[in-house]
């Protein structure tokens, strides 16, 4: 009587790091194991597939992951993976270990890379969206966003204290090259007077008149939150100092937004995304990205994700528009 060998699945993180990646890795490995699969971990993302940096997931390697920010596996953006010879090398590494399925945690660039890998070698994969910009089409939420928003909130709370003490204007730049989600939600949550994002046309003349009236009515300080993609952080700071005749300062939050222990929400969402990813693969679905839309988990094809331009929720844009003019 022969033995039934368990199916092997490898998990990797790729692209920009985001809080929630580690809980997703741990949850995917644990859930896959409970469902009769043998989980493996790929270190350093797509580069790790090429180099063969793949090891079986062990309890001691997974313990302690849940509360850690970033990605314990490491990440990379590998241009070599877009060359066939290196994808073939990655495939050979998987073949040697008998790995037949993949879960990748990252953004649409990572999903596109594995989709090409699937086209070449028919290795099924499931994608879990993780980016603090929250700019992946087809899903309302990406892992890491809630933790990033809480990091921003904490920073803005501290800045507000000193702004109030010295009657200053502060401009705070958040991440968000093409999508201003972090800036918009942070502006609303922190009571900012100004918010500039790529999605909304701004009118500084109108903003200036509004702020002058607020200053005349006794407003002690001004907070402006700007998405990096606008390129307006430094110009807005200078403008506030000159137009409002205030001491104006700029704070660029930078990579602090990517760090920090994942919030409860990101940990729970990581678990749910991971379970859904494993379930989709067990059901025979291929090259799908797990999505969270209108409060429900589902999945979309890679083409539905990458071929459709991401658009912010109209209601959020409407709420913020008044801070841009």
pLDDT of residue 2: 40
C-alpha to C-alpha distance for 33 and 275, rounded to whole angstroms: 11
pTM value > 0.85: yes
Mean pLDDT of the chain: 94
The residue with tokens 């040697």 is 96
C-alpha to C-alpha distance for 75 and 130, rounded to whole angstroms: 12
Q: State pLDDT tens for residues 97-146.
A: 999 999 999 999 999 999 999 999 999 999 999 999 999 999 999 999 99
Q: Which domains does the chain have, with CATH numbers?
A: 8-144+262-308 (3.40.50.450), 146-258 (3.40.50.460)
C-alpha to C-alpha distance for 29 and 223, rounded to whole angstroms: 43
**Per-residue confidence at 76, pLDDT binned at 50, 70, 90?**
confident
Distances (CA, A) of 278 to 24, 104, 166, 197, 210: 11, 11, 53, 36, 52
Residues across the chain: 325
Strands ordered across the beta sheet of 296-301: 54-56, 38-42, 8-13, 99-106, 125-129, 288-293, 296-301
Give me the phi and psi of 65, to 5 degrees please: -70, -35
**Per-residue confidence at 5, pLDDT binned at 50, 70, 90?**
low
C-alpha to C-alpha distance for 267 and 60, rounded to whole angstroms: 19
Q: Which residues are catalytic?
A: 133
pLDDT of residue 4: 45
Give me the phi and psi of 18, to 5 degrees please: -155, 140
């Amino acid at each position: 009587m022969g033995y039934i060998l368990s199916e092997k699945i490898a998990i990797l993180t790729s692209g920009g790091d985001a809080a929630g990646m580690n809980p997703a890795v741990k949850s995917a490995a644990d859930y896959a194991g409970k469902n009769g699969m043998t989980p493996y971990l790929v270190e350093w993302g797509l580069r790790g597939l090429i180099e063969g940096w793949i090891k079986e997931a062990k309890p001691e390697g997974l313990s302690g992951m849940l509360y850690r920010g970033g990605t314990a596996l490491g990440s990379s953006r590998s241009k070599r993976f877009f060359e066939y010879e290196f994808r073939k090398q990655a495939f050979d590494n998987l073949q040697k270990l008998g790995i037949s399925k993949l879960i990748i945690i990252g953004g649409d660039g990572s999903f596109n890379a594995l989709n090409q890998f699937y086209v070449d070698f028919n290795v099924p994969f499931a994608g879990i969206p993780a980016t603090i910009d929250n700019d992946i089409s087809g899903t309302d939420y990406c892992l890491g966003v809630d933790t990033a928003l809480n990091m921003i909130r904490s920073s803005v709370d501290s800045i507000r204290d000193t702004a109030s003490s010295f009657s200053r204007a502060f401009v705070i730049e958040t991440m968000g090259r093409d999508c201003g989600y972090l800036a918009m939600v942070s502006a609303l949550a922190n009571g900012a007077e100004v918010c500039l994002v790529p999605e909304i046309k701004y009118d500084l003349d109108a903003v200036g008149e509004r702020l002058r009236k607020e200053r005349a009515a006794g407003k002690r300080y001004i907070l402006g939150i700007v998405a990096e993609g606008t390129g307006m952080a430094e110009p807005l700071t200078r403008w506030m100092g000159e137009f409002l005749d205030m001491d104006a300062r700029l704070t660029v939050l930078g990579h602090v937004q990517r760090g920090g222990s994942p919030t409860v929400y990101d940990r729970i969402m990581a678990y749910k995304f991971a379970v859904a990813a494993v379930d989709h693969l067990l059901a025979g679905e291929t090259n799908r990205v797990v999505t969270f839309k209108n409060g429900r988990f589902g999945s979309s094809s890679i083409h539905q994700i990458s071929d459709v331009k991401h658009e912010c929720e109209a209601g959020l844009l409407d709420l913020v528009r008044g801070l841009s003019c």
